[in-house]
Each structure stands twice: as C-alpha cells, then as structure tokens.
Amino acid sequence: MADIVHKIDLNPDTVIILEDPTVDFAVWDTGDDTLARTSTGSFNGDAASSETTLEPQKNDNTSQELTENEAQSHSVQYLVSSRHLMLASPWFQRALTREGWTESDRDADGRYCIRTSGWDSNALLILLNILHLRNRRVPRLLSLETLAKIAVLVDYYECAEAVDLFGDVWTNAYEETPVPTSLCRDLVLWLWVSWSFQLTEKFEQATFVAIKHSIGDFDTLDLPLPAAVTEAIEKARQEGMLKLQSGLAALLGEYRSKQYSCPVGSGTSSFECGSMMYGALIKGMDTVGISTEGDSFDGISLEELCNDIRRIRSPTWYYSGSSGYYQSQHMCKLTRPLKDMTDEVEKSLKGLKLEKLKKDI
C-alpha cells in the first residue's frame, strides 16, 4: 500500500519516515484486562459509589484518529522543517548536525531523511504539529492512551519544554478524574502520564495504589519510567509488609507474656486466654503464609495480606465458673486486634512525592 504523507511544513527540507507504525502499546499481558474503567475512589482507596470514566468526552473537532488507510499503511511520511526540529529537540539537533549520523546527510532530493519505527503515527503527527507551531491542528482533548504515547515521544526526543502548554491543556481536562483503585493497565498509564507531565497529585495517588496492590517487581509495560520510581514503589511495599510482621510479632509477644492479663475474663483465666490466642495466631499465620521474620512477600499484595490476616480464625473455648463446670464461652477474639493492627498499617501507606523523586534522580 502507498505511503501516507503528512505535509506539516510548507517548505519542508526534511522527511521523517515512520516504518511499521506501532499496533500494540503498553501491552497488559495478564489475561483478562477489561480496561472497563475500574471503579475509582478517593485518595485513601475507598471505592466510589459509581463508575467513572478515565477520559473526558471528546469534541467532534478535537480528535485526530488514525484513518483506516493509515493504520494499514506500511509507512507514514512527515514533511517537516529541520530548523523547527532542532530548535525544539536536542535529539534532532544531534541527529541533523553530527558527522557520522545518517540523518545529517541529505538525500538526492536535497532533504534530510530520518527513519524511525514503532511509534504511533497519530501521536507523532500531534507532536510534530506542536513543534511546527501548527496549533490549530492540535487536539485539545486526548485519551489517556494518546497522552501516554505522546509522553513516550516527548521523553525520547527530549522536547518537554516545547509541549508544556499543550500538556497543561490536556491534563487539566483530567483534574477531577480519579485514578483507578486497582492494579490495571490504566493505572500504569496514569503513573507514566503523571510522571511525564508532572502531575503531583495524580502521581501520588497512582503510586499509592501501586504500593497497595503491587505483588513485587512492578511492571511498567515497557514504558520508560525511571528505575528509581519502581524501586521506590517496591521499597514502600516492603516497608508496609514489615509493619505487618512487626504488628503480628507484637501481638504474639503480648499473648505469650506471663504478665498477660485477659481483658474480659477473671484473673484466673489469663493463662488459658493467652495460650489460646497465642496458639490460634500461630496457626493462622501458618495458614496465611507469614512469619515474623524472613519473608520475601513476592506474589502477594499488601491489601491481600491485610485481608488474609483479618480472616485468621479466633478460637472458640469455654471456661469454668465458680462452680467448676465449663459453662461460659470465653469472649476474647483475635478479630479486633488483627483488624486494628492491619487498619493502622493501611492508614500509614502514602503515595510517593513526585518532586522528591525528580530531585533525587
């Protein structure tokens, strides 16, 4: 099929040839990802009462969707100006001026030729229109998907300053849109977009969800998130797990102590109560698969582990009254102390601070 040609500059001296435009982007490979715009909620992770879409409605005159011909085309050509490219992008400055770079040599038509592959052709068109000040051709509303694709291009071509104003326009439309509250593809896209466009609140919210729901080695879906971000997510997740371990160890120590005093029974039942609670907690921890030290916590999220701990069974037993007969059910349960401990750990979770991470990198 013939190439698609976009004439962006009226007097072009450069042609960018996009070969094999990308079809798959940030692939979520865990099977059934509905991307059904998962229920979203407040920053503390509570589910909202109704579903909210993750992208604003588009106006008829603002979207630049791929045409069917373009999607099937083997390559897409963009006729552009080297001067505009070099002013906006250090990457293009290097490519078009350094000796030994094939892009710095003109072809038979006297044009520079830059070949690339794997990009989304629509996202690249939007970016090149911005770099050439063709502002009326730039949509004011974009899907989360397209925002993420443009952010990848901006990162690669080092032209963040050139898209600052449009970045503000695009992201302002999402100001009231909450991020997903579960680990899904859209959450990863939000993490990348908030990092790229410096959306401090969205980044903190997205990393909060990632810390709570990640099961280790956070998958960036091949998006160019710095390793420092994923390492900080995993560090915060591990710290939360260690708090759970410490909380369980403290409860075991309390029940094991010879000074333990049963809060509901008579003083004579403290030994029996402590023994029952201690043994039940040990058995419950074995069932959950957590000890008080040495666990790697791979394959389970903080939220899952908290829920598993809350479900640890309490023993049912009876103690004798003054008559010596076993007649009264003892009322001490593991339910309340385990819930209080896990609730405290979850409340201590915080998302990451964008400014601090940017400064540390």
Burial of 28-52, coded b for 16+ CB within 10 Å and e otherwise, reads: eeeeeeeeebbbbbeeebeeeeeee
pLDDT value of residue 267: 64
Structural domains of the chain, with CATH: 4-225 (3.30.710.10), 235-348 (no CATH)
User: What per-residue confidence (pLDDT) applies to 313?
Assistant: 94
Residue 170: the pLDDT is 97
Q: What DSSP string describes 69-89?
A: HHHH-SEEEEEE-HHHHHHH-
- The distance from CA 276 to its chain's CA centroid, rounded to whole angstroms, is 42
Half-sphere exposure of 140 (CA within 13 A, CB side): 8
Q: What is the pLDDT of residue 14?
A: 96
* Cα gap 85→11, rounded to integer Å: 14
What is the sign, positive or negative, of the torsion defined by CA atoms of 223, 228, 231, 237? negative
Give the list of residues 6+ apart from residue 338 with CB closer than 8 angstroms, or none: 251, 309, 310, 312
**What integer pLDDT is reported at residue 62 of this predicted model?**
36
The pLDDT, as a whole number, for residue 304 is 96
Q: What pLDDT is stored for residue 307 in this prediction? A: 97
Measured CA to CA, the distance from residue 89 to residue 14 in angstroms comes to 15
Q: What is the pLDDT of residue 58?
A: 43
**In the prediction, which pLDDT does 102 show?**
67
- Of the candidates 1, 144, 143, 154, the one whose C-alpha atom is nearest the C-alpha of residue 62 is 143
Alpha helices in 73-199 (DSSP H): 82-88, 90-97, 121-131, 144-157, 164-172, 185-196
Predicted pLDDT of residue 297: 84
pLDDT in tens, the chain (361 residues): 457 999 999 999 999 999 988 778 989 876 544 333 333 333 333 333 223 333 443 433 333 444 445 555 579 999 999 999 999 999 999 999 876 566 667 777 889 999 999 999 999 999 999 999 999 999 999 999 999 999 999 999 999 999 999 999 999 999 999 999 999 999 999 999 999 999 999 999 999 999 999 998 899 999 999 999 999 999 999 999 999 999 999 999 999 999 998 887 666 678 888 999 999 999 999 999 888 877 778 889 999 999 999 999 998 877 765 555 556 778 889 999 999 999 999 999 999 999 999 998 7
Q: Which of these, 52, 198, 57, lies nearest to 141 by C-alpha position?
A: 57
Beta bridge pairs of residue 318: 329
Nearest to 319, CA basis, from 275, 265, 279: 265
